[in-house]
Amino acid sequence: MTAASSAARDSGPTLAQRLRIRGLDGVTLLVVPCVLLAIALFVYPFFYGLWLSFQPKNGGAALTNYQRFFTEPFLSKTIWTTLRLALPVTLLNLFLAVPIAFRVRLMKRQRLLTTILVLPITLGTVLIAEGMLFYFGPQGWLTRTLMWLGVISQPLHVVHTYWGVFLSLVIAIFPFTFLLTLSYVTGIDPSLEQAAATLGASPAARFREIFLPLLLPGLAITFCLSFVQAFSVLPSAVLVGDPANTTRVISIAAYQAAFEEYDYSLASAIAMIMGAVQLMVVVVVLGGRTLLYRGPVAAAKG
């Protein structure tokens, strides 16, 4: 099909040859359906949303929605609430994932442990929230164990607070962060470490001087991809959080505007602000990455 259409499009052999030299032939056209789909389902709705956000529901100036967002603390505060959750969760997951990945790297049978650590991916935030309501609840196993051990005398206040959402996000996103980190760590050529060890570098020095510089660019990408997930937190913020107050994240604000007030214009404006904040964090992190070492980390892999 693609060969035929490219033949029909090209007017003569010279043009076809010229196009082929530039990399355009039947095979290249295979990318077209995918690009059209992305334009129809991602780019078009995005620009439609952008346009809609400048058309306030009750009339007025184009920037009314944005003005409203930044002047009403009830709305503008959600940016800070979301960042206060998403940034520490992402950083904590990275700090946990790196040492564990370094241990798992040395293991002969990584598969079982990796599977167990990846398991929460299948749970989804809803099941984790439901489990947390039980486990951390006043009658839950954790509370009972801690009270039995005498560590605490009052039940923990975890569920329906900031920390409930925090923990549920750590559990939900850790597997993803861990998998990415592990793949970066195992991608580093072990002979580099052996060379350093032969020259007498201590484990701490080997990590600081060899691994960290090689790992930082990968960790920056891991940070971005994990941050996206933490940033769009919706179900756990509602179910185990305090959605009216300390965990009223920006996606709740957007959802309420769209499906409770039916103000799609404001909802689109909030969605655009959300995307902008997210992309700003990504740009800052990836921008910092360009200052770091970029190059082959493994002789055999390139």
Partner 1 sequence: MIVSRTPLSTRLWAAAIWVLVGFFVLNLAGLIGSVVTSSFATRWLGTWLPAGFTTKWYFAAWDEFQLGDVLWVTFQVVGSVVALAGLFGVPAAYALARRDFPGKKAVLLLLLLPLLVPPVTYGIPLATVLYKSGLGGSLAGVILANLVPTVPFVVLVMIPFIEQIDPRIESAARVFGANTLKVFIYVLVPILLPGVLAALLLVLVRTIAMFELTFLVAGPGSQTLVVALYYAVFAAGVRAVQSIDAMAVIYMVTTLVWLIIALRFVNPTQIVARAKRSNT
- Rounded CA-CA distance 11/16 in Å is 8
**Is the distance from CB of 252 to CB of 234 less than 8 angstroms?**
yes
Instruction: Draw the binding track, 239-278, toward partner 1 (x: CB under 8 A; -: no contact).
Output: x-----------x--xx--x-----x--xx-xxx-xx--x
User: Burial, 257: exposed, middle or buried (Cβ in 10 Å; 0-12, 13-18, 19+)?
Assistant: buried
> 61 or 107: whose CB is closer to partner 1?
107
H-assigned helices in the chain:
2-9, 13-21, 31-38, 44-53, 64-71, 73-105, 110-118, 120-135, 141-149, 162-186, 190-198, 203-206, 212-231, 235-239, 250-259, 264-289
Residue selected from 140, 160, 210, 226 as contacting partner 1 according to rule CB under 8 A: 140
- Determine if 288 is a binding residue for partner 1 (CB under 8 A): no
Span 17-46, contacts to partner 1 by CB under 8 A: 22-31, 33-35, 37-39, 41-46
Torsion of CA 179, 180, 184, 186, to 10 degrees: 10
> 64 or 265: whose CB is closer to partner 1?
265
> 165 or 274: whose CB is closer to partner 1?
274
Span 57-86, contacts to partner 1 by CB under 8 A: none
**Is the distance from CB of 56 to CB of 265 less than 8 angstroms?**
yes
Binding segment toward partner 1, per CB under 8 A, in 55-63, 68-76, 152-160, 231-239: 231-239
Residues 6+ apart with CB under 8 A from 9: none
Binding segment toward partner 1, per CB under 8 A, in 9-17, 55-63, 66-74, 109-117: 109-117
Binding segment toward partner 1, per CB under 8 A, in 8-16, 62-70, 152-160, 177-185: 177-185
Q: Residue count at the site for partner 1 (CB under 8 A)?
A: 99
Q: What's the min distance (Å) between Cβ of 67 and partner 1?
A: 19
- Rounded CA-CA distance 23/87 in Å is 42
> 135 or 162: whose CB is closer to partner 1?
135
At 266, list the tokens. Answer: 């404001």
Look at the alpha carbons of 291, 295, 297, 301 in this order and tell me if their dihedral is positive or negative. Answer: positive
Binding segment toward partner 1, per CB under 8 A, in 10-18, 59-67, 134-142, 153-161: 134-142
Residue selected from 62, 70, 187, 208 as contacting partner 1 according to rule CB under 8 A: 187
Span 190-229, contacts to partner 1 by CB under 8 A: 203, 217-218, 221, 224-225, 228
> 76 or 232: whose CB is closer to partner 1?
232
- Residue count (the chain): 302
